[in-house]
Every structure is written in structure tokens, then in C-alpha cells.
Amino acid sequence: MKHSICSLTLCLLLIALPGCGRSQDARRAAAETSPAELTAIGSLSIPISNNAVALSVTDQDTRIYSFFGLESGKTWQDVSNRSQLWQQTQDGTTYKARLLPSPPGASGRLASTAQQVGTTIYLFGGYTVAEDHTEVSTPEVYAFDVISEQYQHVTDMPVPVDDAVSMVYQNRYIILVSGWHQDRNVEHVQILDTQTMSWLSGTPFPGEPLFGHSGGLIDETMVICDGVRIVPLDEPGKREFRITDACFIGSIDPLDLTRIDWQAIPPHPGTPLYRSASAGLRWQDDPLIVFAGGSSNPYNYNGIGYNDIPSSPSDRVFSFNVQQSTWQVHRPLAVPSMDHRGLLYDGQWLYLAGGMHAGQRTTGDIVQFTLSDPTR
């Protein structure tokens, strides 16, 4: 299995704990004058990384959800089936964190992904880890109702994948690009119609199949970057996992969403990254695919590289401007972070929920930031 083979307005804003009783505007002003001291606005109930994340905004509060992932011990026994909720009132005065019910019958898993459509969060796949380190890509798709906080097993993926990139199209379809399936990467683009619970097959990913890659979708355009490819070695049966800097842009045919025009684009600035947080979003009217954090050294689930070197998190934040077809760099994160399954955006702020910090330390931090004016 893949995980056991040897071999971010003018500056990034990180703001004070909401319990200080200040409104969001007041906290934003404070952050603009003192951006460096504080690193999080709150924390999940338990530290977690490699967790599937989703965000829901209501008139009363902002809610961040975390599902599955890896708890602090970072062994096979710490692969989690726990779900968590972090809530902050809209005036930013109070927050609370609590555990949620776990998906019924689901064992702990890593590298799953989550996307929200309406009031439902869909959880896709991931992989389990047994005591003998056997890993299995799981097929189940669970629907979590944010109102009732109940789960339903709604379908299985045609090709079970973990470490895939997921995106929402037209607030109806969820697109899964590439990922790991049992013992290899796959090129599949799998599309779930959440209204009919039927699956469609999109134009395959044109690059080398990947796991741990990142990307996002805005309007009809997606960008997929980096990740890990499999390289066969001279010795029979041996292979190596190598990071790639390849990036592709995919344009969805609005008349047939299964038709995707894939084109290679130049790599993003800097070294390629593994498991960075990413999302497609509209920022000050610009359609962007944003990437934050990650690691330049791909690693096993415990944060130790496949090259046996402990991996370090990145503080980099950059984006691809879809309208201008250009890469742009933003002020870095105040605290480097890696091992993410998604970047959350509420129309004003971006969020990281959980992950790993320096020394492969699993964190429960909720980090809130904005994008600085870009450079190229």
C-alpha cells in the first residue's frame, strides 16, 4: 500500500480569540495593527490532521465541521472515526467546540474528503489502517444533515479512492479527480449527481495519476496541481513515490459536464507541495484557485517522509487567477501548516481546521486569514 512503502487587505491576518468579546470588525482592525502574535481563533475539541472539513454559515453563526483523520498519537490506532463541530457567533463574541456522532458503522479512516451541497455534507472514501498496516480504500459515501446531525449511507464510489481532490459544481454535482485506489493511483474523474445519487464519468485526468494533490473549481474552471506519482524502479516489484510540480487546468463544457478540456499550465511559484489546503473562490471579484500550506516532502500518515526524513510544513500561500491566467503569491501563513484535506471560505475569511504544525504535531487550531494583495 502507498502509505507503508519504504524507501492570504494588506497582510495575512491572524486574529485574537473570540472570547475577548470583540466584534469581527474590531478584531479585524486589531489584526491589521498586530498581525504576528496570535495564531488561531479557537480550537476543535481534539487535535486532528488529514481530516475531511466543511463549512456552513447561518444568520446566527459560522460552523466548521471535521470528520475522520489522525489523532495525536499518529499510529494506526489513532486513525479516527470521530466527527467534530466548531461554532462561532456572527458577532465573533463566543465560540464552542463539541464532538458529533460518528458515521454509523464506519471505522476510522484517513484522506477522506467532504463537500457541502445545501444543508448536506457528503463524505467520500478515505482509507482504513489495520494493525498489520494493511490499508484499504473505502467506497462509502455518507450524507450528513447539518440540521438533524444524522448520517445516511447514500451510495458507493464506482472506484473507491482516497487522497483525491473534490469540488462542487453548480451546487449539485461533486467532482472527484484522481486519487489512490487500493494499490495505485487512478486517472478517473468521478462525478456524483447529488439530486439523483447517480454517478457520471468525466474526461480522465490527463497527467500522471496522483494522490495528495490539491486544487479547486470556480465557475466552469478547475486547477489541479502537485501531488505524488508512482515511479517504477529497476528492481522488479519495486517503486518509489515522487512529488510532481505538474499543473493542469480543466474547463467544463457547460452543455455536458462530463466533457472536460484539460490543458497543462506552468507550475506554480516555488517547490511542489503535498496535501496543501486548496479551494476555488471569488476574491474581490477575481476568480481564484487558492493554495495554502502543505509540505515539499511527501510523507506517510505520521508525517515522516517516504524518504525517512521528517516532513516540515510550509507557510506558503499562492493562487491562480483564472481570469488573468497568472500565478500570484500572497503573504505567507504566520504558522506553517500541512496535512490538509480542504481550505474553507465563507465569502470573507479563509480557514484552516486542524492539520500538522512543526515537528509533525497534530493540531486542533482553527486559523482564520485573508489574502494579501498579490505579487507575481
Q: Does residue 308 belong to any structural domain of this protein?
A: yes
CA separation (Å) from 60 to 91, 92, 95?
Answer: 9, 10, 12
Query: What does the alpha-carbon distance between residue 74 and residue 177 come to, in Å, rounded to a whole number?
Result: 27
If pLDDT is split at 50, 70 and 90, which confidence band does 24 have? Answer: very low
Q: Does residue 253 belong to any structural domain of this protein?
A: yes
Residue range 239-255, pLDDT digits in tens = 899 999 999 999 999 99
- Provide the grid cell at 167: 469540488
Predicted local confidence at residue 235, as pLDDT? 80
If pLDDT is split at 50, 70 and 90, which confidence band does 22 have? Answer: very low
Query: What does the alpha-carbon distance between residue 374 and residue 283 come to, in Å, rounded to a whole number?
Result: 11
Predicted local confidence at residue 54, as pLDDT? 98
User: Does pLDDT of 131 surpass 60?
Assistant: yes
User: Does pLDDT of 298 surpass 70?
Assistant: yes
Mean pLDDT of 171-180: 98
Predicted local confidence at residue 9, as pLDDT? 32
* CATH number of the domain that residue 141 is part of: 2.120.10.80
Predicted local confidence at residue 357, as pLDDT? 97
Residue range 185-210, pLDDT digits in tens = 999 999 999 999 999 999 999 999 99
Question: 210 and 185 in contact (C-beta within 8 Å)?
Answer: yes
If pLDDT is split at 50, 70 and 90, which confidence band does 105 have? Answer: confident
If pLDDT is split at 50, 70 and 90, which confidence band does 40 have? Answer: confident
Please give the tally of structural domains in the chain.
Answer: 1
What is the chain's length? 376
- Provide the grid cell at 153: 449511507
Residue type, position 14, single letter: L
User: Does pLDDT of 308 surpass 50?
Assistant: yes
Q: Does residue 374 belong to any structural domain of this protein?
A: no
Helix (H, G, I), strand (E, B) or coil at 70: strand
Q: Does residue 375 belong to any structural domain of this protein?
A: no
Query: What does the alpha-carbon distance between residue 123 and residue 19 come to, in Å, rounded to a whole number?
Result: 31
Predicted local confidence at residue 19, as pLDDT? 35
Mean pLDDT of 123-141: 94
User: Does pLDDT of 178 surpass 80?
Assistant: yes
Q: Does residue 159 belong to any structural domain of this protein?
A: yes
Predicted local confidence at residue 5, as pLDDT? 40
Containing structural domain, residue 324: 2-369
Predicted local confidence at residue 238, as pLDDT? 83
Q: Does residue 376 belong to any structural domain of this protein?
A: no
Predicted local confidence at residue 12, as pLDDT? 33
Higher pLDDT, 348 or 224: 224
User: Does pLDDT of 6 surpass 60?
Assistant: no
Predicted local confidence at residue 221, as pLDDT? 98
Q: Does residue 59 belong to any structural domain of this protein?
A: yes
> 73 Cβ partners below 8 Å, 6+ apart?
none
User: Does pLDDT of 11 surpass 80?
Assistant: no
Least confident among 88-102, 165-179, 181-195: 88-102
Predicted local confidence at residue 25, as pLDDT? 45
Q: Which residues pair with 369 in a beta bridge?
A: 350
Predicted local confidence at residue 106, as pLDDT? 72
Predicted local confidence at residue 300, as pLDDT? 95
User: Does pLDDT of 10 surpass 70?
Assistant: no
Helix (H, G, I), strand (E, B) or coil at 31: helix
Query: What whole-number percentage of the chain has pLDDT above 70?
Result: 89
Higher pLDDT, 177 or 35: 177
Predicted local confidence at residue 38, as pLDDT? 54
Alpha helices in the chain (DSSP H): 24-33
Say how many C-beta atoms besides its own lie within 10 A of residue 359's C-beta.
Answer: 9
47-86: burial string, b at 16+ Cβ within 10 Å, e else: bbbbbbbbbbeeeebbbbbbbbbbbeebebebbbbbbbbb
Average pLDDT along the chain: 89
Q: Which residues pair with 185 in a beta bridge?
A: 180
Predicted local confidence at residue 17, as pLDDT? 33
Predicted model pTM: 0.89
Q: Does residue 135 belong to any structural domain of this protein?
A: yes
Query: What does the alpha-carbon distance between residue 189 and residue 159 come to, in Å, rounded to a whole number?
Result: 10
